[in-house]
């Protein structure tokens, strides 16, 4: 029998949460779970009630046992949905990508939030299930946390968002920093966010773009945020592709593939796409669009 690598426990100041019961290796699938139901992320109490009537009594009880951060503000069905819904689709607040559907999960909705998360949540559309992946090695006894909000913002902005959507003041390892350590962390995150925007505008300046990717990767490493690597590696891959630098494109494609295997799983469409470019960067529609040039590969 496969043993689940976590246990549901009381976590000081956070209600319940999931804690590792053994060491979990980077890239391991921690949990795959089907939703109790899905709804538009901004569903109403009426639509949620309608969905609840289709659930078994046991699942209705399970639904009403989940946390409710909106007690006294919204009716319980809506309050529980707002507190616990996870995106079922591409979603990354740091990059302005928002899923329009949310799902409620018996265990998945119990993960608390951290701005230095050790797992990611990825919606597996083919399997109609949510999957959670370890983005770094996790020790026995560590709490397993996803990120509910945005990673690439300073603490004040991150906390404000979490407070307005989930009604708690985040005091994760990143938010608990003070003084010079907090300032350095804030600066790094704001810089990565700026670099992300600038990289998007470097289509015709691939050498500049790849330099910015490398700068962002160093800052992500310093912030212990490996879950964003895949996207930056993919940007670097596209710069190399545009100037027909096949050798470096393959090296970046391999990094992007490894990154997406860790954050989305080896069977994800993201990982599958990168695999095609590892084999043949020429398959990319932007191949050889700019004057040929040799750029740089990953460190």
Q: How far apart are CA 170 and CA 76, in angstroms?
A: 23
> For ligand SAM, which residue has the nearest CB?
15
- Residue showing tokens 């600038």: 198
Q: Choose which of 38, 39, 94, 109 interacts with ligand SAM (CB under 6 A).
A: 109
Residue 121 binds ligand SAM, judged by CB under 6 A: no
Distances (CA, A) of 215 to 195, 208, 238, 241: 8, 11, 17, 20
Residue 170 engages ligand SAM in binding (rule: CB under 6 A): yes
Radius of gyration of the chain (CA): 20
38-67 positions binding ligand SAM, by CB under 6 A: 66-67
143-146/15-20 β-pairing? antiparallel
Which lies closer to ligand SAM via its Cβ, residue 37 or residue 232? Answer: 37
Binding to ligand SAM (CB under 6 A) within 196-215 occurs at none
Q: What is the DSSP string of 149-187?
A: S-SSS-HHHHHHHHHHHH-----STTTT--HHHHHHHHH
CA dist., res. 88 & res. 35, Å (int): 9
Q: How far is the CB of 161 from ligand SAM (least distance, A)?
A: 12
226 binds ligand SAM (CB under 6 A): no
Measured CA to CA, the distance from residue 189 to residue 195 in angstroms comes to 10
Nearer to ligand SAM, 94 or 109 (CB): 109
The continuous run of DSSP H or E covering 133 comes out as strand 129-134
Minimum distance from CB of 76 to ligand SAM (Å)?
Answer: 14
Applying CB under 6 A, among 84, 94, 129, 228 the residue interacting with ligand SAM is: 84
Task: Choose one: 46-54, 55-63, 105-113, 259-267; the region binding ligand SAM (CB under 6 A).
Answer: 105-113
The distance of closest approach from Cβ of residue 232 to ligand SAM in the complex, given in angstroms and rounded to an integer, is 26
Q: How far is the CB of 108 from ligand SAM (least distance, A)?
A: 9
Residue from 15, 27, 76, 106 binding ligand SAM (CB under 6 A):
15
Contact present, 120 and 133 (Cβ < 8 Å)? yes
Stated as kind and residue range, the H or E segment containing 298 is none
**At its nearest, how many Å lie between ligand SAM and the CB of residue 89?**
18
Chain positions contacting ligand SAM, by CB under 6 A: 13-17, 66-67, 69, 83-84, 109-110, 112-114, 166-168, 170-172
């Amino acid at each position: 029998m496969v043993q689940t690598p976590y246990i549901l426990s009381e976590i000081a100041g956070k209600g319940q949460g999931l804690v590792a019961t053994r060491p979990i290796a980077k890239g391991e699938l921690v949990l795959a779970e089907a939703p109790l139901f899905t709804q538009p992320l901004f569903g109403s109490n009426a639509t949620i009630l309608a969905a609840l009537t289709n659930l078994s009594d046991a699942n209705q009880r399970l639904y009403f046992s989940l946390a409710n951060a909106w007690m006294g503000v919204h009716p319980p069905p809506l309050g529980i949905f707002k507190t616990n819904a996870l995106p079922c689709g591409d979603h990354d607040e740091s990059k302005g990508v928002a899923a329009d559907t949310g799902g409620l999960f018996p265990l998945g909705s119990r993960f608390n939030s951290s701005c230095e998360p050790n797992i990611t949540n990825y919606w597996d559309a083919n399997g109609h299930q949510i999957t959670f992946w370890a983005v770094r090695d996790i020790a026995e006894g560590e709490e397993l946390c996803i990120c509910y909000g945005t990673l690439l913002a300073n603490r004040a902005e991150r906390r404000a968002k979490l407070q307005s959507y989930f009604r708690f003041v985040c005091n994760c390892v990143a938010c608990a920093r003070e003084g010079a350590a907090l300032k350095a962390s804030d600066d790094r995150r704001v810089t990565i966010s700026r670099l992300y925007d600038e990289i998007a505008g470097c289509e015709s300046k691939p050498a500049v773009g790849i330099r910015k990717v490398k700068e962002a990767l160093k800052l992500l490493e310093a912030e212990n945020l490996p879950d964003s690597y895949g996207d930056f590696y993919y940007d670097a891959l596209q710069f190399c592709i545009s100037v027909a630098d096949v050798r470096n494109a393959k090296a970046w494609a391999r990094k992007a593939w490894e990154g997406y295997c860790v954050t989305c799983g080896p069977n994800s469409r993201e990982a599958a796409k990168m695999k095609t470019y590892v084999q043949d960067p020429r398959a990319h529609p932007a191949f050889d669009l700019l004057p040929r040039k040799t750029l740089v590969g990953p460190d």
